[in-house]
Structure formats: structure tokens, C-alpha cells
Amino acid sequence: MEILLNEIIDRNRHLIENGKVANYIPALAKADYRKIGVTVAGRTGSLLYSAGDYNEKFTLQSISKVISFLVAAMDNGLDHIFEKVGLDSTDEPFNAFTKLDLPNIHKPANPMINSGAILTTGMIKGDSQERFQKILELTRRMANNPYIGYDEEVYLSEKETGSRNRSMAYLMNSKGILDGDVEGVLDTYFKQCSIQVDTMDLAKIGRFISSGCEGIDIKGISRKDMSVMVKGLLFTCGMYNYSARYAIEVGIPSKSGVGGGIMGILPDGMGIGIFSPALDENGNSSAGIGIIKELSRRLHLNIFDDRKLQADLEAY
């Protein structure tokens, strides 16, 4: 498997040149655009196959939306969440919010775009610090890594320059969609985006969801059903406005972030983590998309591809 991963990295490395490291959050611009890492987490606890810069740390950014959504669901139940936020895919960029200003719109499209994520983070019970602590603890549990922390510099950089996120939060506040301490909610959101991981952590988070969300207790829904729900949500909304094409071309429920990470949920308790910080025009990792596309095609991981691998993936 490592040989295959190295080969796929090499074949897709050139895609770095099509992308650009995010610079609208100034601290993210410091990332080395040449880094590329991949990890596939196998079914059994300790099995990890990695290649490239799998030890390199980067920030979760939008991938944290999956985790804050789970925490909010644990605190409120799913019905309550979807009273406030939609379950619709979107053709708009992740940070768009003009539609929210229309008189007939009372919900962000889904919890995986910024407005929806800020709203779900605000539904987590507790003050700003307690909310963040819950998100951090769940991240550590999902990745089975108690050492996960956050990048103070990225957090402060986004907090300082986050006018766009701030505007959408205040717009939601003015429409009565987001109540309470808006600055506190934004603070949690900026901090959760700056949680620091590597590709091994991401792959294990994917594995955690695939293998049934162990320990996630949500009123009215079994863990297995929650895992099915999260996969559906990411399949339709996880890659911003590229989600539909990605669903067809890759067919793996995934979530990306502007830090350059992609977390994929494979069937049968397996997961993928990819990192490469140069982003395409949708804010997804350029080389990361190439890598997961090729991995999906060669290992028949697209959920609509029924040419199942004869050999067990773990024995590859």
C-alpha cells in the first residue's frame, strides 16, 4: 500500500502548480506549498499506511465543521439542529452569504459552509471556552490522539482578519437566526478552525466515522445511523460548491479545509487523510483532489463503483 501511495503522490505532485496557498488568513500563507502527505487508516486499530509528508502539521479549518456538528448534535439532537440549519447542497462558495439576506431565507444552506457551521457551533452548550473544549476533546477522541492542540498564530490571525465571517454572523444575529454572544461564538469557530492535525489524525477521524461513531450519543438516533447521516451530509456538502462533481468523480464522503486537508470516509471502518496546502479555485487542495481521485479510481472506492477489489484493501 505504501508503494501505491508514494506512486500516486508522485503522479499528482504537478497539480500543486495549479493551486495557491490560502492567504486570506495571513498565517496560512506561511505554509510550504510543496508539502504533500497521505495516510490510509485500515480497519484494525493500529493499521496506518502513510506516504510523503504525513508528519506535517496543518490546521483543520473547515474539517472542524464535521466535529462541531457532532458536538452540537450531541447537545441538542438532530431535529433541533435542522430546525435552524438546512440540509441542502449549495452551488455557492463556502464563505458566501448574500442569500442569507433574502427576506424568505431563514436558514444557512447546510452545516458544512461557514454560515451553517458558525450557527451549529453556537448551538453547542456552554460558554466560548467550554464549546471549544468539547470540540477539541471530541477531535482527540476521534483521532485517538490526546496530544492534538491548536495553532495560536492561525487562530489569532483569523480572529483579526475574519471580517467576512463576522459579517455573516452579525447578519444571522440581526435576522434572529443566531442568538446570544456573537463574538463568543466566532471566537470558538476561529479556534476550532485552528486545531492542528496531521494526515494520520485525519485518516483516523475518517475511520472513526466509518466504523460507527463509537461513543457519540445523540438522542433519537443510533450511532450507526449517525455514521450513515454524516457520510450523506459530507457526500452532498463536504467539498463546498465542488461537492456534486466530487461525488461523481471521487465518490467518497469527504471534507476539505483551506489548510489543505481532505478527510475521507471509506467503507468498512477505514479512512483517508490527505494534506497539500495549494488550493484550487473552490478552496480545495489541488493535489489532494488529484490524489484522492486516483486512489478512488484505482482501488474502486467510489461508492457507485461495484468492481469491488478482489483482495482485501488491507492486504494490498
Binding site for ligand GLN (CB under 6 A): 61-62, 94-95, 114, 158, 165, 193, 257-258, 283
Least CB distance from residue 111 to ligand GLN, whole Å? 13
User: Least Å distance between CB 302 and ligand GLN?
Assistant: 24
Nearer to ligand GLN, 193 or 272 (CB): 193
Q: Considering the complex, what minimum distance in angstroms separates the CB of residue 258 from ligand GLN?
A: 4
Nearer to ligand GLN, 142 or 218 (CB): 142
Cβ closer to ligand GLN: 118 or 270? 118
Buried b / exposed e along 98-134 (16+ C-beta atoms within 10 A): eebeeeeeebbbbbbbbbbbbbbbbbbeeebeebbbb
> What is the rounded distance in angstroms from the CA atom of residue 269 to the CA atom of residue 186?
33
Least Cβ distance, residue 123 to ligand GLN (angstroms): 17
139 or 211: whose CB is closer to ligand GLN? Answer: 139
Closest CA to 258 of 232, 271, 276, 244: 276
Closest approach of Cβ 34 to ligand GLN, in Å?
A: 20
Task: Return the number of other C-beta atoms located less than 10 Å from residue 266's C-beta.
Answer: 26
273: part of which helix (H) or strand (E)? strand 270-275
Q: Phi and psi (nearest 5°) for 114? A: -55, -50
Produce one character per residue of 31-59: b if its CB has 16 or more CB atoms within 10 Å, e if not: bebebbbbbbbbbeeeebbbbbbbebebb
Q: Phi, psi (5° rounding) for residue 273?
A: -130, 135
Alpha carbons 243 and 237: distance in angstroms, whole number: 6
Catalytic (active-site) positions: 62, 65, 189, 240, 258
**How much of the chain is in helix, strand and coil states, percent to nearest 5?**
50, 10, 35
At 40, give phi and psi (nearest 5°). -110, 125
| Closer CB to ligand GLN, 144 or 161, in the complex | 161
